[in-house]
Amino acid sequence: MNLLRPLQSRIQGMPTPLPKRHLYGIVLLSTLTLTATVMLPSTQHILEQPVRINIPTSLNLPQPAAKEQVDNTEFYTLPHDDIGIDALDEIVATEPEWQEYVVQNGDTLSTIFNGLGLPLATMYKLLDADKEKILDGLKPGQSLSLLIDNDNLLQEFKIKQDLLHTRTFSRDGAGYKSKIKTIASNWESKALQGVIKGSFYLSARDAGLSASQIQKIANLFQWQLNFARDLRQGDSFKVLVQREFVKGQSTGKSELQAVELNSRGKTYYAYRNEDGKFYDAKGESLERGFIRTPLAISPRISSKFNLNRKHPITGRVRPHNGTDFAVPIGTPVLAPGDGVVVKAVRHAFAGNYLVIRHGRQYTTRFLHLSKFLVKPGDRVRRGQKIALSGNTGRSTGPHLHYEFHINNRPVDPMQVKLPMAEGLSGSEKRTFLATVEKYQREFSG
């Protein structure tokens, strides 16, 4: 009953090793009735009685008249109505059908083509059309779809590259042409929320946020909150996350849309705008900008930032990690950006010096001061007076030595690209505020 395997496997929904068109030949060449043991899907036992399939009587081949000479080496040429083409059509579809094949371990394109009864010449034509070398990278589990016509010609060949992309090879003259089809995905919003117990990180993970989303949230609020220090047990958060789906299956892509964080009675907001940046509920930037020079006047620069500066006498490299401004003793020094004072101490070489941390990445340092106007732990605003310049420590004359560090490495304060802090305005702001309302409805709905 080997000949019937295609029939069985089709009934079970398995890939068909032999295309239907072969059945045509089988029917013609075999006896007029077929007996098949048919295993039905999801039945718990095999049917004990073989199922008899009766082929319509119109298939009966007319017997050649006894008096005629019969040449056994040739097929009979029969009138159509005699062999019952119509009846056969019910069994053998003349329309080609898509066949699915799932790549197995150890498969190669040629073993797959052999198994499907396709000539290798067809495979080489496909490979010719495969400029992106998709066929070289077949992986077990990947699904292939083939449209083979009744002349055993591969009309179309599809490979699902991922959830969103399908590569199609279609017959084009003697060869094939390849194109990619991208399936439209849809994004769905989900509100996640939680109350801080233990760390923000763990509480946010419990609420369903990913590590990178948690990092992103900490960065969004870096100018307003220090997550490690400022958050308390019982503080709460709400996060709107948008996730991408294709036919109900997650693609793994997601995007933060809105964050509302309540800490010690105060709520902090971050909403995503069309430009991909986050703003607060009023359309103000969550970034904090810097002023280039921490002084109210435009001072003369007496010594530039230079990591390769050589000592004039010893000739050794003594980097100059900051910019020196020649200013008289007592000149007000301004905070170049919002931040927290982390150090205000006296040092033998640096004299009175002050360090301010701005958010997570930036710190600024001020040396040779005559007087501090702030103390460690103070929050400062951009432009606020923090000290008076001086000539303390190892200094050859009144000046302010100013350093700008990114991730604890000194950069040139006069050249560094400073974060911008533009808020939204005009029609952009109106669109944004409408989006904020939509976010808030999604939080409450």
DSSP assignments along 320-331, one per residue: B-SEEEE--TT-
Question: Which is closer to Zn ion, CB of 176 or CB of 402?
Answer: 402
Closest to Zn ion by CB, 306 vs 384, is 306
CB of 260 or CB of 324, closer to Zn ion: 324
Residue appearing with tokens 């062999």 = 83
Determine which helix (DSSP H) or strand (DSSP E) holds 87, and give its type and residue range. Answer: helix 85-91
Distances (CA, A) of 112 to 10, 165, 286: 18, 22, 56
Nearer to Zn ion, 285 or 321 (CB): 321
Q: Which is nearer to Zn ion, 366 or 439 (CB)?
A: 366
**In sequence order, what are the residues at sequence separation of 6 or more whose Cβ sits closer than 8 angstroms to the Cβ of residue 362?**
290, 337, 339, 404, 405, 406
User: What is the rounded distance in angstroms from the CA atom of residue 440 to the CA atom of residue 184?
Assistant: 27
CB of 309 to Zn ion, least distance (A): 10
Dihedral pair phi/psi, residue 23, rounded to 5°: -60, -35
Shorter beta-carbon distance to Zn ion: residue 96 or 322: 322
Minimal CB distance to Zn ion: which residue? 401
Give the nearest distance from C-beta 324 to Zn ion in angstroms: 4
What minimum distance in Å lies between the beta carbon of 334 and Zn ion? 18
Distance of alpha carbon 271 from alpha carbon 439, whole angstroms: 8
Q: State the minimum distance, in angstroms, from the CB of residue 321 to Zn ion.
A: 8
Site for Zn ion in 1-20 (CB under 5 A): none
Looking at the DSSP assignment, which residues form a beta bridge with residue 325? 301, 400
Q: Provide the minimum distance between the beta carbon of 315 and Zn ion in the complex, in angstroms, as a whole number.
A: 19
Site for Zn ion in 392-421 (CB under 5 A): 401
Quick note: the x/- pattern for Zn ion over 155-184, rule CB under 5 A, is ------------------------------
Residues 97-116 that bind Zn ion (CB under 5 A): none
Residues contacting 292, CB < 8 A, separation 6+: 336, 413, 414, 418
Q: Tell me which residues in 214-273 interact with Zn ion (CB under 5 A).
A: none
Q: What is the torsional sign of CA 189, 194, 198, 200?
A: positive
If the CB atoms of residues 28 and 326 are measured against Zn ion, the closer one turns out to be: 326
Q: What are phi and psi of 78, to 5 degrees?
A: -120, 145
The minimum distance between CB 320 and Zn ion, in angstroms, equals 6
Residue ranges in 311-370 that form contacts with Zn ion under rule CB under 5 A: 324
276 or 312: CB nearest Zn ion? 312
In the Cβ-directed half-sphere of 305, how many Cα atoms lie within 13 Å? Answer: 15
The C-alpha atoms of residue 291 and residue 419 are separated, in whole angstroms, by 10
Number of residues that bind Zn ion (CB under 5 A): 2
Least distance in Å: CB of 392 to Zn ion?
A: 13
- Closest CB 395 distance from Zn ion, rounded Å: 8
List, in order, residues 6 or more apart from 403 with CB less than 8 Å away.
321, 322, 323, 364, 365, 366, 367, 410, 413
| Rounded least distance, CB 323 to Zn ion, Å | 7
CA distances from 106 to 139, 344, 441 (A): 9, 68, 53
Rank residues 50 and 397 by Cβ distance to Zn ion and give the closer one. Answer: 397
Contacts with Zn ion, residue ranges (CB under 5 A) = 324, 401
